[in-house]
Amino acid sequence: MAIRRLKDMEVKGKRVLCRADFNVTLDKQTGQVDDDTRVTAVLPTIRELQARGARVVLCSHFQRPKGKRVPEMSLRPVAANLSRHLGREVPFAEDCVGEPARAAVAKLKDGEALLLENLRFHKGEEADDADFARQLAELADVYVNDAFGAAHRAHASVHALPRLMPARCAGLLMMKEIDALAPLLAEPRRPFVAILGGAKISGKLQVLKHLLPKCDAMLIGGGMAYTFLKAQGLPVGKSLVEADLTGEAAAVLEQARKLGRTLLLPLDHVVAEKFEAQAPYRVVPADGIPDGWMALDIGPRTVERYTQEIAKAATVVWNGPQGVFELPPFNAGTFAVAKAVAGSQAFSVVGGGESVAAVNEAGVSERISHISTGGGASLEFLEGQKLPGIAVLES
């Protein structure tokens, strides 16, 4: 994958448009940034550009205003958050194109940074509109994409815009993501274990099919496991099942058999009659889910078996929780897997918002080799898809 890196670019005295992913959460009471993980992830790129004398023009989408100016979806709070992190004021432009943007950029001096207003206030952003991209291109001499979380979207600021700018490259965060994920599909260190979970098989079917030939073992949990168990003729009670995909699940199981891959499904389950924190629950074997009960977590035998497989791995990729981890007491399986991954000697990659939240809540995030900032982007990358925002950076 031949992508120009930031170190290869001449940026001193140049206007550098840096596409970031500042789609953060705001505190409902104060209106200020609540979780600034996505802000801090881009700071290394911003600081390097500033240190090298660039005039940094930051842009991002924020929420879904659908092409309209929605005051509560303004990026202004992010400018304040950036100012605190960088130790200097980051001016805020009232628009991302037009005279407000041009005037703000014209005031920049070498080593300074500013933030443009929400790109999605203009319909042209999500439409990948060439004219909107040209207006953005007028603001810069160099384009840097550091928004891996938006790389799977063919939107103007990640697709049409870089095609207009010969001086384009990936930022430090973008390259960190690519450098971590690309080897998983090429030559991972073995044994390579993939852990997949989440609610539905439909959202993971392509990554299942793409990763299975590349990995040595696949561990499946979460709601998606029950479509597989249903396909095997096992009782699933009221557990989440995509009945129309049992055929696809059976095909994946057959693919694993033909390839000689280890594909593990839950050996036991934590079940309850209701999806409630105080609902009575119990542990049952793989074939013992009663009618009227639903599986909400993997059981202790499954945790033990999955932990054994993870301990043998040299590479682990995890996407999707093993149960309804946001609702105690049905979080034990997911947290146990998180701790097993963190405690292994493997190079570990965790992607997907819920999996990232799980390793954070389990207090083990610092022991994960790489935590991806892009849920949908990382999933599509693992499916083997060409992400528009990355493909356009390839020379």
CA–chain centroid gap for 7, Å, is: 25
Q: Are 42 and 56 in contact (CB under 8 A)?
A: no
**In 3-state terms, what secondary structure has residue 62?**
coil
pLDDT band at 292 (very low <50, low <70, confident <90, very high): very high
pLDDT of 201: 92
Among the listed residues 111, 288, 343, 376, the single catalytic one is 376
In the residue annotation, 339 being an active-site residue is answered as no
**Superfamily (CATH) of domain 187-382:** Phosphoglycerate kinase, N-terminal domain (3.40.50.1260)
pLDDT at 1 over 80: no
pLDDT of 229: 97
Q: Are 167 and 40 in contact (CB under 8 A)?
A: no
pLDDT of 395: 67
Distance CA 286, CA 227 (A): 13
**Hey, what CATH class is 6-175 in?**
alpha beta
Contacts of 90 (CB under 8 A, 6+ apart): 58, 79, 82, 83, 113, 114, 115
Asked whether this chain's domains 6-175 and 187-382 adopt the same fold, the reply is yes
| Residue 309 token pair | 């497989």
pLDDT of 367: 96
pLDDT of 196: 96
Q: What is the 3-state secondary structure (H, E, C) of 266-297?
A: CCEEEEECCCCCCCCEEEEECCCCCCCCEEEE
pLDDT at 182 over 70: yes
Among the listed residues 19, 38, 214, 238, the single catalytic one is 38
In the residue annotation, 109 being an active-site residue is answered as no
Q: What is the pLDDT of residues 361-392, one digit of tens each?
A: 999 999 999 999 888 899 899 888 899 999 99
Q: Are 211 and 188 in contact (CB under 8 A)?
A: no
CA distance readout (Å), 359 to 29, 82, 116, 222, 273: 27, 25, 33, 16, 28
pLDDT of 353: 80
In the residue annotation, 67 being an active-site residue is answered as no
Which residues does residue 168 pair with via DSSP β-bridges, in sequence order?
Answer: 143
pTM score, whole prediction: 0.89
Q: What is the mean pLDDT of residues 168-178?
A: 96
Q: Where along the chain do its domains lie?
A: 6-175, 187-382
pLDDT of 44: 98
Among the listed residues 200, 274, 301, 312, the single catalytic one is 200
The secondary structure element, H or E, covering residue 14 is none
pLDDT of 144: 98
Among the listed residues 292, 353, 363, 384, the single catalytic one is 353
Q: Among all chains, which residue has been given the structure tokens 């001449």?
A: 10
pLDDT: which is higher, 263 or 326: 263
Q: Are 145 and 387 in contact (CB under 8 A)?
A: no
Closest listed residue to residue 153, CA positions, set 393, 390, 389: 389
pLDDT at 93 over 70: yes
Q: What is the mean pLDDT of residues 35-53?
A: 95
Closest listed residue to residue 229, CA positions, set 205, 253, 258, 197: 253
In the residue annotation, 198 being an active-site residue is answered as no
Q: Among all chains, which residue has been given the structure tokens 């993501």?
A: 177
Lowest mean pLDDT among 11-15, 158-162, 185-189, 228-232: 185-189
